[in-house]
Chain A
Amino acid sequence: MSMLEQTRETMRRDRVFDWMMPSADFSQRLDTSHGPILYVEDVTVSFDGFRALDELTLYVDDGELRCIIGPNGAGKTTMMDVITGRTRPEQGRVWFGQRIDLLRLDETEIASGGIGRKFQKPTVFQNHSVLENLELAMAADKRVWPTLLARLSGEQRGRIEEALETIGLTAEAYQAAGQLSHGQKQWLEIGMLLMQNPRLLLVDEPVAGMTHQEMDRTAELLTGLAGKHSVVVVEHDMEFVRSIARQVTVLHQGSVLAEGTMDQVQNDPKVVEVYLGE
């Protein structure tokens, strides 16, 4: 983005982020404004001298479905940790839109502020039913006392049912989440993400351990989400990435190695070297 454009974007006064409103409506998330929703600039994180992220710079556009690939240790998970406030970088800037400095917020604020994350290992609440899992994730007043007295409104029920349908678990609504199959758990996770009503979804290895059928269903789910949400998918499975990706970023040793469409990236000699050289 050019300097001028960036300045102009910064100076806009008409823009109010809808996540700042207490309870944004499920259907109102389409944002027509252009430009990145996520800015990651010059971010460095190191553990005991090992640089997990090395001046990483990355932009994700609003409504985009971005796939991030890279060999083990490339810094994919650490990047997500930084964005969601779990890890503090030593240097760099992370902005959500143009106005929100994510480095100043903590994990909970970021989570309730519009960035949802699905972890690598599916962690649903095993002892809660599918419906309860979705209820817990739902965007609502999450302070203690209101939660104690909370009752599901008809409208909230509607949203949960809608999500159940999207992830195809309507029949299992009252089943304990621990009894779901691996694939179903992953979808439930995505469903929980949706209930949070996030502007940006970070999805870590959604198809690990899935059957082909489940993978197709997941691909459908994720592509369906893009547009309404910005989605960042970290994945190892190349075939899956190819099936959903429009834009691919390759990370290597903590920084961006290549960026482009799947075909461009696959033919990039640097990428070939990294993948084949190992």
Chain B
Amino acid sequence: MISPKAVKVFHVVAALLLCALVAAPAGAEDFSDLLQELDTRNFRTKMDVAEQIADSGHPRAAAVLSALKDGNLYVHQSDGRIVIQQDRQGPVVDATSGKPIAEAGSLEKIRVNILMRRQMGPAIARLRLASPDPEERLAAAKAMYGELAPDDVAMIRARLEKEDNDRVRDALRVAASLALLDSGEEAQQLEAVEVLGESLQNEARNALRQAAGEEDNPAAVQEAAATALETVESRVAFYDRLEQVFFGLSLGSVLLLAAIGLAITFGVMGVINMAHGEFLMLGAYTTFVVQQLMPNHIGLSLFVALPAAFLVAGAFGVALERGVIRFLYGRPLETLLATFGVSLFLQQLVRTVFSPLNRSVTTPEWMSGSIVINPVLSLTMNRLVIIAFALLVFIGLLLIMNRTTLGLKVRAVAQNRSMARAVGVRGEWVDAMTFGLGAGIAGLGGVALSQITNVGPNLGQAYIVDSFLVVVFGGVGNLFGTLTAALSLGVLNKFLEPTTGAVLAKVLVLVFIILFIQKRPQGLFPQRGRAASEG
């Protein structure tokens, strides 16, 4: 617990801070000079300087104070400058400007004692609360959880008036309510419970749980806390469910990317291509190579990798079709074996050319991070991008199949080969192009996969069985079936996972599909008609 004295110091600093907020920020010169004064052995002076730094309202004030508090503030021995080094191996930056400095030289730590440290904690929090960066303010607000006394609440409320970011407001309110909950006054406690009951934050729930079980609290407070807890937990459960759906959709879109090329080669052409997974792998490796070639433009590299992967995988696909598969039309089981051989070959090729070890592909900045909807639900950027990408690819493929001459020819050949030839469609050419298209799309899938899994020679293998099952489950030859099957299997998998564990969930899904196929060999969306009833 915080000692009364520390609390008192804290109040002083807080008051000063409020003044500082109105005062004009000090110039860079003054601030730099002020910092220089920290280079002293006298702790009293240091404390004064620290207070002045807090009062200065300088944008770097918070950074300097937290560095001071954590023992990361140093005096550069060569020119006496005050610098910050966050960790031993990390870069050295100038405390005033925040810019890295190149000169090497030994650093001497500016020491602080325990009293100073206590005093600075809340002061830094206040400073950061005033920061223009909402993330910074949020972190500051969260740092105050459990650290405030009921008396501070008024100040927080004052801060709330000015705050316009919802998440920071929520955090501030929770911080205040946590303090009020300890006040021992029933009315305030009830008010706090009400506020906490609306927040989805973990700390709020913990506090409620504690308040509900705390025997010293009045019965009404306990009861209110219990009710609030129940409501908030059902809301959390709802968001958890929502998160599962999101994870499921993201897994589903990975499956979709893996399976959709197959939906073309297997579903439309009837070719069993066991090397399909390796086309995914080729796509992923293409991404890796492109990144190696343009290491300074990682963000851009994905956009180069996409067409490159499409072309590489597509070229391999055309080669496979021309070189092997065309000799085996009408012999599906043999096709299966031959393409399996090709898949082994390609895996070994990658192993020999690159390495048997996994390669790491960097995720560009615009794809990292996440969108925080609320404290219990945040959507990671890369998953969101992949869902969107999978849908884009799907729509693109639909357009190709339904709107272009290639699509028309593909459908014509698929329905009646000899008839198509009779009206002048070059069956062989269409076969090669269709296969290339399927393979190229797998390549695109590979680019996406490289962002979420390890890129290694076995990348494709992991997806081949799943992809076939998705295509068969959705109904062969039906693109919408593939979409539905991929997404629903993804969601099903993620819903099973919490209760059964990841491996068992996968096994259960496999067993489910096996049983399903046996019940309905035509898949979810069977093709109807005379052809379907034969055989």
Binding site for B on A (CB under 8 A): 47-48, 50, 52, 78, 81, 86-87
Residues of B contacting A87 in the complex (Cβ-Cβ under 8 angstroms): 533
* 483-535 of chain B: CB within 8 A of chain A: 528-530, 533
Binding site for A on B (CB under 8 A): 528-530, 533
Q: Which 4 A-B pairs have the closest CB atoms?
A: A47-B529, A48-B528, A48-B529, A47-B530
Complex CA gap A78/B533 in Å reads: 10
Complex CA gap A86/B533 in Å reads: 8
Complex CA gap A81/B530 in Å reads: 11
Say how far B310's CB is from chain A's closest CB, in angstroms. 35
Residues of A contacting B528 in the complex (Cβ-Cβ under 8 angstroms): 47-48
Say how far B297's CB is from chain A's closest CB, in angstroms. 52
User: In the complex, how many residue pairs between chain A and chain B have their CB atoms under 8 Å apart?
Assistant: 12
Say how far A278's CB is from chain B's closest CB, in angstroms. 20
Identity of the chain B residue whose Cβ is nearest the Cβ of A45 in the assembled complex: B533
Complex CA gap A48/B532 in Å reads: 11
Identity of the chain B residue whose Cβ is nearest the Cβ of A47 in the assembled complex: B529
Given contacts A48-B529, A86-B533, A87-B533, 9 further A-B contacts (CB under 8 A): A47-B528, A47-B529, A47-B530, A47-B533, A48-B528, A50-B529, A52-B530, A78-B530, A81-B533
Identity of the chain A residue whose Cβ is nearest the Cβ of B529 in the assembled complex: A47
Chain A interface main SS type: mixed
Most chain-A CB neighbours within 10 Å: which of B528, B529, B533? Answer: B533
Most chain-B CB neighbours within 10 Å: which of A47, A50, A87? Answer: A47
Most chain-B CB neighbours within 10 Å: which of A48, A50, A78? Answer: A48
Residues of B contacting A48 in the complex (Cβ-Cβ under 8 angstroms): 528-529
Complex CA gap A81/B533 in Å reads: 10
Residues of B contacting A81 in the complex (Cβ-Cβ under 8 angstroms): 533
Identity of the chain A residue whose Cβ is nearest the Cβ of B530 in the assembled complex: A47
Say how far B475's CB is from chain A's closest CB, in angstroms. 15
Complex CA gap A78/B530 in Å reads: 9
Say how far B527's CB is from chain A's closest CB, in angstroms. 9
Complex CA gap A87/B530 in Å reads: 10
Say how far B526's CB is from chain A's closest CB, in angstroms. 11
Residues of A contacting B533 in the complex (Cβ-Cβ under 8 angstroms): 47, 81, 86-87
Identity of the chain A residue whose Cβ is nearest the Cβ of B532 in the assembled complex: A47
12 A–B pairs (Cβ distance < 8 Å), ordered by A: A47-B528, A47-B529, A47-B530, A47-B533, A48-B528, A48-B529, A50-B529, A52-B530, A78-B530, A81-B533, A86-B533, A87-B533
Residues of B contacting A52 in the complex (Cβ-Cβ under 8 angstroms): 530
Residues of B contacting A78 in the complex (Cβ-Cβ under 8 angstroms): 530
Say how far B66's CB is from chain A's closest CB, in angstroms. 71
Complex CA gap A87/B528 in Å reads: 13
Complex CA gap A47/B528 in Å reads: 7
Residues of B contacting A50 in the complex (Cβ-Cβ under 8 angstroms): 529
Say how far B478's CB is from chain A's closest CB, in angstroms. 14
Say how far A78's CB is from chain B's closest CB, in angstroms. 8
Complex CA gap A48/B526 in Å reads: 12
Say how far B528's CB is from chain A's closest CB, in angstroms. 5
Complex CA gap A246/B492 in Å reads: 63
Residues of A contacting B529 in the complex (Cβ-Cβ under 8 angstroms): 47-48, 50
Residues of A contacting B530 in the complex (Cβ-Cβ under 8 angstroms): 47, 52, 78
Say how far A276's CB is from chain B's closest CB, in angstroms. 27
Identity of the chain B residue whose Cβ is nearest the Cβ of A87 in the assembled complex: B533
Complex CA gap A52/B529 in Å reads: 10
Complex CA gap A160/B164 in Å reads: 96
Say how far A206's CB is from chain B's closest CB, in angstroms. 20
Say how far A117's CB is from chain B's closest CB, in angstroms. 14
Say how far B227's CB is from chain A's closest CB, in angstroms. 57
Complex CA gap A48/B533 in Å reads: 12
Complex CA gap A87/B535 in Å reads: 11
Residues of B contacting A86 in the complex (Cβ-Cβ under 8 angstroms): 533
Say how far B52's CB is from chain A's closest CB, in angstroms. 85
Complex CA gap A86/B528 in Å reads: 15
Identity of the chain A residue whose Cβ is nearest the Cβ of B528 in the assembled complex: A48
Complex CA gap A180/B119 in Å reads: 104
Complex CA gap A86/B530 in Å reads: 12
Say how far B394's CB is from chain A's closest CB, in angstroms. 25
Complex CA gap A169/B530 in Å reads: 35
Complex CA gap A278/B529 in Å reads: 24
Identity of the chain A residue whose Cβ is nearest the Cβ of B535 in the assembled complex: A86
Complex CA gap A87/B533 in Å reads: 7
Say how far B309's CB is from chain A's closest CB, in angstroms. 39
Residues of B contacting A47 in the complex (Cβ-Cβ under 8 angstroms): 528-530, 533
Identity of the chain A residue whose Cβ is nearest the Cβ of B533 in the assembled complex: A87
Say how far A52's CB is from chain B's closest CB, in angstroms. 7
Identity of the chain B residue whose Cβ is nearest the Cβ of A86 in the assembled complex: B533
Say how far B525's CB is from chain A's closest CB, in angstroms. 13
Complex CA gap A48/B529 in Å reads: 6
Say how far B468's CB is from chain A's closest CB, in angstroms. 27
Complex CA gap A165/B264 in Å reads: 52
Say how far A41's CB is from chain B's closest CB, in angstroms. 21
Complex CA gap A47/B531 in Å reads: 10
Identity of the chain B residue whose Cβ is nearest the Cβ of A73 in the assembled complex: B530
Say how far B531's CB is from chain A's closest CB, in angstroms. 9
Complex CA gap A243/B508 in Å reads: 63
Complex CA gap A57/B530 in Å reads: 21
